[in-house]
């Protein structure tokens, strides 16, 4: 990869920080309390930090990426990151960019998430493994900040913010997988008020770190999502005989095909000492904050990996000559490159919108915390926060789904541009494809994201059935958008296709359950059961693809209205949006229930 500044030399990324982001809304929320001993925080100072970091990432982290991948980590015994990975993390700590989002009072820089998000994208472009490790300095810190005691914050947050220790967040178990309600790791309260943990966790990123946040069942006899709690678990605890001892066992690091430089560990807990964060029963509510933030982060990581494949393909296609001209001048290759670029630009627009919405919500939370309960401005601020929370909830599964699925396609196309050299490890494009394979799997699979998006869509419609009368009425952000010319024609057609499809699906449900049950559901006296919605849920991925394209088309169309140079990109993406919505609509309206019939046959044979 060509060494360059991954911030300033990426015009599309820099475009957002220089022109698109509304800093007038964000800066007052994050640069309020000034410390005379520290420089004043401004949007310009934040951009300068990203420029300095972009130079380090684009020249040093990227240069070590192939070696980080080749060396990986040990799979048993003393599991440590490789020397080049350690050099990456040490360099980031020395630059002071580990704790960008950690409040200043705990040793961080107190910047909004959207600044840290640029770091995540740049690191993922340079080396997806390093990006994962970087994220597990701040992810545990964010959980401790939100739910930890003052003593826990003082002990761990400055060390995490400075890169002195790294952490992990453990939710997944061997038998539970994505079924969080099936968590079996037990937390038992002792007679002296302390807690002990027994159980196992699997697929834990950075699981060899010095401190972790763990989800366990803390209420005896509880089931499902009830009775869970979050615990802070140090790797080592004091020991009278030896000074300190290990508090739990790192069984192994998985031998993976992707993100090899980041240890993905299996952990075993046997009477492990732990400190509770919050109260027993709070765990599900608490862990969902991490899950949602992690899903946006994976969408950003997807953009970085896709950007790496795009940049490599563009550089190679400009230099590789076939039949007397650079291969980028052959129409089929040119189309591939434009398709890759359009995808990356669209994904960046989507994750950027989600990151800014996240920052606004967190900023409003901070303001409300400082406000009196009787402050006359409080109701207005609360209403604004609820509205943006709803918007963020709508965007989050789309960022994760679209990013993960499209990053694989972009990386695969990048390999194709390289031809035979694409599968040779001397050219890093094969690593981009391997690293992309994890994206639709961790932090909630693509299928889970599509089910989340579809269930939220159904809830919005059930709250207001009249929204079905207007194209995109379930989403005020889609329904209110209007564009001129070609953009407007394609957007309106795509929105009509989506609305017609949603109406058909709900009419199909109504026809199957009958008018009496429809009436009771609309009156709020009954709820639809999963069996009633099986064809809707079978269509979830196609609906999610449509929604993601509609939101990206909307965002790029809005940009084209302000910056005419964005018009070609917006038109390319909007044409794709119209095609995706038309195709997926035809597929759904066809009513193919083969998968459902297969499920019924399998169930019947298993219970016979």
- Give 11's pLDDT tier (boundaries 50, 70, 90): very high
Q: What is the mean pLDDT of the chain?
A: 93
Helix or strand holding residue 146 (H, E): helix 128-147
As given in the structure block, the two tokens for residue 32 are 């309020």
Q: Which CATH number fits domain 288-444: 3.30.70.920, 3.40.50.800, 1.10.1060.10, 1.20.140.10?
A: 1.20.140.10
Give the model's pLDDT for residue 100: 95
Whether the per-residue pLDDT at 2 is higher than 90: the answer is: no
Give the model's pLDDT for residue 67: 97
Q: Produce one character per residue of 420-452: b if its CB has 16 or more CB atoms within 10 Å, e if not.
A: eebeeeebbbbbbbbbbbbbbebbbbbebbbbb
- C-alpha triplet 595, 597, 599: angle, nearest 5°: 70
CB 351 within 8 A of CB 303: yes
Give the whole-angstrom CA distance, residue 314 versus residue 304. Answer: 15
- pLDDT tens, 67-102? 999 999 999 999 999 999 999 999 999 999 999 999
Has this prediction a pTM greater than 0.85?
yes
Whether the per-residue pLDDT at 517 is higher than 90: the answer is: no
Whether the per-residue pLDDT at 259 is higher than 60: the answer is: yes
Averaged pLDDT for residues 100-113? 93
Give the whole-angstrom CA distance, residue 14 versus residue 37. Answer: 29
Give the whole-angstrom CA distance, residue 404 versus residue 250. Answer: 29
Give the model's pLDDT for residue 112: 95
As given in the structure block, the two tokens for residue 55 are 């130079």
Whether the per-residue pLDDT at 525 is higher than 60: the answer is: yes
Give the model's pLDDT for residue 526: 78
Whether the per-residue pLDDT at 240 is higher than 80: the answer is: no
Give the whole-angstrom CA distance, residue 122 versus residue 171. Answer: 27
Q: What top-level class would CATH report for the domain 167-281?
A: mainly beta
Whether the per-residue pLDDT at 33 is higher than 80: the answer is: no
Architecture of the structural domain at 1-165: Orthogonal Bundle (1.10)
- C-alpha triplet 480, 484, 489: angle, nearest 5°: 85
| Cβ burial, residue 79 (10 Å; 0-12/13-18/19+) | middle
Q: How many helices (H) and strands (E) does the chain have?
A: 20, 11
- DSSP letters along 301-351, please? HHHHHHHHHHHHHHHHHHH-EETTEEGGGSHHHHHHHHHHHHHHHHHHHHH
Averaged pLDDT for residues 166-174? 93
Give the whole-angstrom CA distance, residue 326 versus residue 347. Answer: 28
- pLDDT tens, 461-485? 887 777 777 777 789 999 999 999 9
What are the sequence ranges of the domains in the chain?
1-165, 167-281, 288-444, 465-602
Averaged pLDDT for residues 243-260? 94
């Amino acid at each position: 990869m060509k060494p360059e500044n991954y911030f300033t030399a990426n015009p599309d990324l820099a475009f957002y920080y220089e022109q698109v982001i509304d800093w007038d809304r964000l800066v007052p929320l994050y640069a309020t309390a000034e410390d005379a001993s520290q420089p004043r925080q401004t949007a310009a100072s934040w951009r300068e930090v990203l420029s300095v970091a972009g130079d380090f990432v684009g020249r040093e982290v990227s240069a070590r990426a192939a070696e980080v991948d080749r060396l990986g980590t040990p799979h048993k015994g003393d599991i440590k990151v490789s020397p080049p990975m350690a050099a990456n993390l040490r360099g980031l700590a020395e630059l002071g960019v580990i704790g960008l989002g950690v409040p200043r009072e705990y040793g961080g820089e107190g910047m909004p998430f959207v600044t840290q998000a640029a770091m995540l994208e740049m690191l993922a472009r340079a080396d997806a493994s390093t990006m994962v490790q970087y994220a597990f300095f701040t992810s545990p810190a964010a959980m401790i900040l939100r739910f930890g005691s003052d003593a826990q914050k003082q002990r761990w947050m400055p060390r995490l913010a400075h890169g002195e220790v790294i952490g992990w967040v453990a939710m997944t178990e061997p038998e539970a997988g994505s079924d969080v309600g099936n968590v079996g790791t037990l937390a038992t309260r002792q007679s002296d008020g302390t807690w002990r943990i027994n159980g196992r966790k699997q697929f834990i990123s950075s699981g060899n770190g010095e401190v972790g946040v763990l989800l366990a069942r803390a209420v005896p006899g509880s089931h499902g999502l009830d009775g869970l709690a979050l615990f802070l678990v140090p790797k080592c605890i004091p020991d009278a005989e030896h000074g300190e001892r290990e508090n739990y066992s790192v069984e192994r690091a998985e031998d993976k095909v992707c993100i090899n430089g980041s240890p993905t560990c299996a952990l075993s807990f046997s009477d492990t000492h732990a400190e509770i964060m919050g109260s027993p029963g709070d765990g599900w509510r608490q862990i969902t904050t991490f899950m949602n933030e992690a899903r946006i982060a994976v969408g950003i990581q997807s953009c970085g990996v896709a950007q790496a494949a795009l940049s490599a393909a563009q550089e190679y296609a400009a230099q590789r000559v076939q039949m007397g001209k650079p291969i980028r001048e052959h129409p089929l290759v040119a189309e591939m490159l434009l398709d890759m670029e359009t995808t990356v630009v669209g994904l960046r627009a989507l994750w950027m919108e989600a990151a800014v919405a996240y920052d606004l919500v967190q900023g409003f939370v901070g303001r409300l915390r400082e406000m009196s309960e009787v402050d006359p401005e409080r109701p207005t601020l609360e209403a604004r926060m609820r509205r943006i929370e709803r918007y963020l909830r709508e965007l989050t599964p789309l960022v994760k789904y679209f990013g993960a699925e499209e990053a694989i396609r972009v990386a695969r196309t990048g390999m194709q541009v390289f031809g035979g050299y694409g599968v040779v490890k001397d050219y890093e494009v094969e690593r981009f494809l391997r690293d992309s394979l994890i994206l639709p799997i961790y932090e909630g699979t693509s299928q889970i994201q599509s089910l989340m998006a579809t269930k939220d869509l159904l809830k919005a419609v059930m709250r207001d059935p009249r929204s079905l009368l207007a194209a995109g009425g379930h989403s005020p952000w889609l329904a209110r958008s209007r564009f001129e010319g070609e953009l407007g024609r394609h957007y309106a057609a795509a929105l009509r296709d989506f609305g017609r499809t949603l109406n058909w699906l709900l009419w199909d449900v109504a026809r199957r359950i009958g008018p009496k049950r429809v009436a009771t559901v609309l009156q709020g006296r009954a709820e639809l059961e999963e069996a009633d919605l099986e064809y809707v849920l079978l269509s979830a991925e196609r609906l999610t693809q449509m929604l993601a394209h509609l939101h990206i088309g909307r965002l790029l169309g809005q940009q084209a209205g302000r910056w005419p140079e964005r018009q070609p990109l917006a038109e390319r993406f909007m044409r794709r949006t119209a095609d995706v919505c038309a195709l997926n609509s035809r597929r759904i309206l066809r009513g193919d229930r083969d998968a459902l019939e297969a499920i019924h046959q399998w169930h019947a044979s298993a219970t016979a």
